[in-house]
Amino acid sequence: MINPVLASIISYFLGSINFAYLLGKLMKVDISKMHNKNLGSSNLYDSINRKYKSKKLSTALFTVSALLDILKAYIPTMLFGPIAGSFAVVGHCFSVFSMLKTRNIPTGLGVASSGGWLLAIDYRIFLLGLFLFLAFHRYFFMIKGMGADNFYWAFIYPFLLIIWIKYVGIDEETFIGYTIVMLSIMTARTIKIKKIFLQYKRKLKQYI
């Protein structure tokens, strides 16, 4: 059996592969410099759509990027277990490769990668998270420039944990892994919210 520390390191570096950024570069678009500068699939969609004026192309690339992000957390979690696998989500949110290349922090917000982790651990919690995403994503995507989607996801992960503990049951190893996933995402989104507030603060100063 592989050493847990080595498994966590492998998971982290696998999670650090930023497919949205790479797909953007393949299409001659640097998403770290476009729209909200986020290095995730949603900004890939917005950036490609702005440049090529094609929703079909944007949707196709978004789908490929999201699926790859799901797989990069799903595979190590299946191979190494919930704790080591959770570091793939850490890698997604704080990718050493992307931070060195773009200087952007966070390097992702963890929706797809955490979905891959959940799918590997318990499909029921994954389906509940997917339902909540599909039920509300349109509304929150419409106002994401205001940071509302970050507040939404910061709430959803603790909510899923409560449901998991109360109605499904969760073992200690899975609890630790989920806590790592949740804290990584909430930290990334807290940083993102602060950046959005600073942007609005600068804009307000221009009118004062």
Q: pLDDT, tens digit, for every residue of 167-179?
A: 999 999 999 999 9
Q: How many structural domains compose the chain?
A: 1
What residues make up the domain containing 46?
4-207
What pTM does this model have?
0.87
**pLDDT (tens digit per residue) in 173-200:** 999 999 999 999 989 888 877 776 776 6
Q: How confident is the model at residue 156 (pLDDT cuts 50, 70, 90)?
A: confident
CA torsion 13-16-17-21 (nearest 10°) is -160
3-class SS at 97?
helix
Q: What is the DSSP string of 110-156?
A: -HHHHHHHHHHH-HHHHHHHHHHHHHHHHHHHHTGGGTHHHHHHHHH
